[in-house]
Structure 1
Amino acid sequence: MNYILFDEPTIRTALLPFTFTRPVADIRIGIWTITEKWQQWLQKPVSHLTEGYLQTKFPAIYTEAETIYINGAACPSRAFLATLETLTPETALLLPDQTVLAVRTSKRLDKAPVATDFAPVEVGPDTPVMIREMPDIFALNGDQIRVDFAKLTDGRQSAPITDPFTRVYGGNSIFVEEGAVIRAATLNAENGPIYIGRNATISEGTIMIGPFALCHDATVNWGGKMRSNTTIGPFCKVGGEVGNSVFFGYSNKAHDGFLGNSVIGEWCNLGANVNNSNLKNDYGPVKLHSYATGQLEDTKRLFCGLMMGDYTKAGISTMFNTGTVVGVNVNVFGAGFQPKHIPSFTWGGAAEGFSPYRLDKALHVARESVGRRNIPFNDTEEAVLRAIYSVVSGER
């Protein structure tokens, strides 16, 4: 069987700006991205059916075998996989609202499957966990850390924690990969597991509370206060106080400052003393910018912080209000709380005013950011950003 993860159009729009630069399934939640979860559960490669301008980087791979197309917002589980195995050819597994969860077909699809094109099958009681809106990424993160931790560590032995000055609570729920360095830290896994990836570094004075995932080659700087339900993606560098948040990868928040109930894309940088609000003073529900309606929509959540797209930079002491959405490749700085939505390819701040970010300058900064990690910024990456620039030009 061939497996392809597809972007359901309504969900993809709800997850912008993160899905400007990746398929839905390449969002990180828990320890792995959804793509990585499926590869682990299926023990075979999967590919993506996504927007045309992303297909060069994330191609759909077709074979002679039948294909199961899976909604890229759905996380795998034993029950969901068992349901997929019962699908017969040319059927669609549907949620009660008619959202397509999966399709089994011999047809080669070039866009997301439509429910009416296949024989319907109701999903039943074992509905999979799905991310359908941006706050789901942090809200469901703790549970997904637990699921991924159990899958990733099953039958494996953790590397030992040998540092004599590190204090451990709930040691049976801590897993350390080879090459990780831990010095004079406090790790508390009594209320949830802690996963430390290969070659990760936990510096002196760090306090870390599970559920927590520090992915491979990531670093927590000195005195970091890492609160529960948080994932720090590969090659990230974080410091200060971080709680119930997800960093996708290759992003930095190296200095003091608070980040809570937030999601940070790849190749972002938060300068010293950047802070965000995650709770309104009147304890009311947080409103968040919607790319579907172009206005603020009620999340019905008490806590919601900063949603930041890829390649975005925030200058020192930048303040983000409760429920702020910042697009792709934004350079934001200056005094005062920033507006609750800053469109992609924007330069400036609340006090100074905003202007369009010149494409040549934005590409130069992106190229420099990636190059500092000794990773090539190739024509494919540039083409993706150029396509996004064209899409969002009318947004400003």
Structure 2
Amino acid sequence: MTNLILFDDPTIRTALLPFTFTRPVAKCRVGILTIAEKWEKRLGTVPSYLTQDYLRVTFPQIAGTDNLYVNGALLATDALAEAVQQLAVGQSLVSADGQLLAIRTTEVFREQPVAGDDTVVAAGTVEMMTGLPSFLEHNGRQIRADFAFLTAGRQSQPITDPFTHCYGTENIFIEEGAVIRASILNAENGPIYIGRDARINEGSVVIGPFALGENSIVQWTSKMRANTSVGPNCKVGGEVGNTILFAYSAKQHDGYLGDSVIGEWCNLGADTNNSNLKNDYGNVKLYSYATGKLEDSGRMFCGLMMGDFTRAGISTMFNTGTVVGVSVNVFGGGFQPKHIPSFSWGGAADGIVGYRLEKALHVAGEAFKRRNLVFGEVEEQVLRAIFDKTRTDIAPS
């Protein structure tokens, strides 16, 4: 049996920080599914991962004598799935510009695989996650692609609420257990996918393409704009557009969140807002972990990039193209800095100090407890490793 192993390209992994501090590249969500789920469902096998040493305690590599290594940044299609399945042992699949997409081998790699001499060039368009702007560039198309893949040949559950009105009903798919109350769903310009046991509460307006993950909630009178993906076990409210929430995160209250990506276990306080457009209409600059500087994103619209376990106090204002690390507690008046390092505490008005590690671990544990989950030694070990890698000269609070 061939072992599916999704590998991190080190350059891409760095470009996708802060989200890849806490996960392999393939565990990032874009569209309805994570990249790993796109491959798992098409190839019919659960993948393992070739990733950073400190993440291997959570995401180990399971290899044998027949291994199919697939680039974890590669967005799966039916054609690509067929192409990697047809690789013979020793063959590599590469893009037109020579990027390694997959290799089937008897070797067990400990670092990024290298293509051999026997290569096959992938046909057609190849889409990959290459940096933070990729989330915003690909999300709408990936919602459409995932919707078509997940719903092919299946029948949607009916919407029985008499006070809910739908446009483009043929582009709406409702999984079992989902509840929709007195809302407007407009799928004329893109599909709407509502996951199992999800809920859309009274007075909400949802515009497709849109995806709501399993057990997630749209709070009442919310405005969900196009190209928005809400992962499983999230709670969203207010106005959200062209945004991804990975999982287990909450933005429940009024306030605008646009052209943004929010990791797992994040919480945005009431009336939190972000800017996604500069007053001069120029391209937004984003902090780069590779260069340590602000770099041109190539996008006119770009909002907030927030790593896991981060929370923002009420009425927090995030500047255009703000990058926030892992386990940050942001609060205070005024627009926040364009980059807030991991394990920091404070904001623009009051200054930023270091977040004591033990307190950060306690807060993470409490967040798990609120969802009836256990924050164990493995999760703690990963956060301790990130703390060691990202600690700065900021004095602890």
Check whether TM > 0.5: yes
For residue 263 of structure 2, give the secondary structure of its aligned residue in structure 1: strand
Paired position in structure 2 for 1:292: 290
| CA displacement 1:33-58 (0-9 Å, x = unmatched) | 11111111011111111111111111
Aligned counterparts of 2:323 and 2:345: Cα–Cα separation in 1: 15
Q: How many angstroms does 1:137 deviate by?
A: 1.0
**Once superposed, which parts of structure 1, at least 4 consecutive aligned residues long, lie more than 4 Å away?**
none
Deviates more, 1:126-135 or 1:171-180: 126-135
Deviates more, 1:298-307 or 1:93-102: 93-102
Deviates more, 1:87-96 or 1:208-217: 87-96
Alignment of 1:28-47 (within 5 A): 28-47=29-48
1:114 aligns with 2:152: no
Paired position in structure 2 for 1:197: 195
Query: Which of 142, 146, 149 does residue 147 from structure 2 map onto?
Result: 149
Paired position in structure 1 for 2:321: 323
Query: Which of 240, 243, 246 does residue 242 from structure 1 map onto?
Result: 240
Deviates more, 1:34-43 or 1:95-104: 95-104
Paired position in structure 1 for 2:185: 187
Paired position in structure 1 for 2:58: 57
Alignment of 1:1-396 (within 5 A): 1-64=2-65, 66-115=66-115, 118-119=116-117, 121-394=119-392
* Contact 1:274/1:314, CA 8 A, preserved across alignment: yes
* Contact 2:93/2:122, CA 8 A, preserved across alignment: no
Aligned counterparts of 2:172 and 2:128: Cα–Cα separation in 1: 26
Aligned counterparts of 1:11 and 1:330: Cα–Cα separation in 2: 23
* Contact 2:233/2:247, CA 8 A, preserved across alignment: yes
Q: How many angstroms does 1:61 deviate by?
A: 1.0
The one-letter code matched in structure 1 to 2:243 is S
Aligned counterparts of 1:296 and 1:395: Cα–Cα separation in 2: 20
The one-letter code matched in structure 2 to 1:163 is D
| CA displacement 1:305-349 (0-9 Å, x = unmatched) | 000000000000000011000000000000000000000000001
* Contact 1:96/1:122, CA 8 A, preserved across alignment: no
Aligned counterparts of 1:85 and 1:293: Cα–Cα separation in 2: 37
* Contact 1:242/1:259, CA 8 A, preserved across alignment: yes
Aligned counterparts of 1:236 and 1:138: Cα–Cα separation in 2: 19
* Contact 1:80/1:127, CA 8 A, preserved across alignment: no
* Contact 1:94/1:120, CA 8 A, preserved across alignment: no
Q: How many angstroms does 1:97 deviate by?
A: 4.2
Number of residues paired by the alignment? Answer: 393
Aligned counterparts of 2:191 and 2:209: Cα–Cα separation in 1: 5
Aligned counterparts of 2:325 and 2:153: Cα–Cα separation in 1: 41
Q: How many angstroms does 1:91 deviate by?
A: 2.9
Q: How many angstroms does 1:122 deviate by?
A: 5.0
Aligned counterparts of 2:305 and 2:187: Cα–Cα separation in 1: 27
Aligned counterparts of 1:325 and 1:262: Cα–Cα separation in 2: 10
Q: How many angstroms does 1:63 deviate by?
A: 2.9
For residue 348 of structure 1, give the secondary structure of its aligned residue in structure 2: strand
TM, length-normalised to structure 2: 0.97
| CA displacement 1:343-392 (0-9 Å, x = unmatched) | 00000010100001000010011110111000110100000000000000
* Contact 1:239/1:255, CA 8 A, preserved across alignment: yes
Q: How many angstroms does 1:124 deviate by?
A: 4.0
The one-letter code matched in structure 1 to 2:102 is A
Q: How many angstroms does 1:395 deviate by?
A: 7.6
For residue 187 of structure 1, give the secondary structure of its aligned residue in structure 2: strand
Aligned counterparts of 1:127 and 1:105: Cα–Cα separation in 2: 25
Which stretches in structure 1 are left out of the alignment for 5+ residues? none
Deviates more, 1:106-115 or 1:276-285: 106-115
Aligned counterparts of 2:111 and 2:369: Cα–Cα separation in 1: 34
Deviates more, 1:33-42 or 1:121-130: 121-130
- Please provide the CA RMSD for this pair: 1.2
Aligned counterparts of 2:195 and 2:377: Cα–Cα separation in 1: 30
Q: How many angstroms does 1:85 deviate by?
A: 3.2
* Contact 2:278/2:284, CA 8 A, preserved across alignment: yes
* Contact 1:139/1:244, CA 8 A, preserved across alignment: no
Aligned counterparts of 2:231 and 2:379: Cα–Cα separation in 1: 20
* Contact 2:144/2:191, CA 8 A, preserved across alignment: yes
For residue 328 of structure 1, give the secondary structure of its aligned residue in structure 2: coil
Q: How many angstroms does 1:76 deviate by?
A: 1.0
The one-letter code matched in structure 2 to 1:248 is F
TM, length-normalised to structure 1: 0.97
Q: Report % sequence identity.
A: 61
Q: How many angstroms does 1:95 deviate by?
A: 2.9
For residue 119 of structure 1, give the secondary structure of its aligned residue in structure 2: coil
| CA displacement 1:55-79 (0-9 Å, x = unmatched) | 1111111234x11100000011122
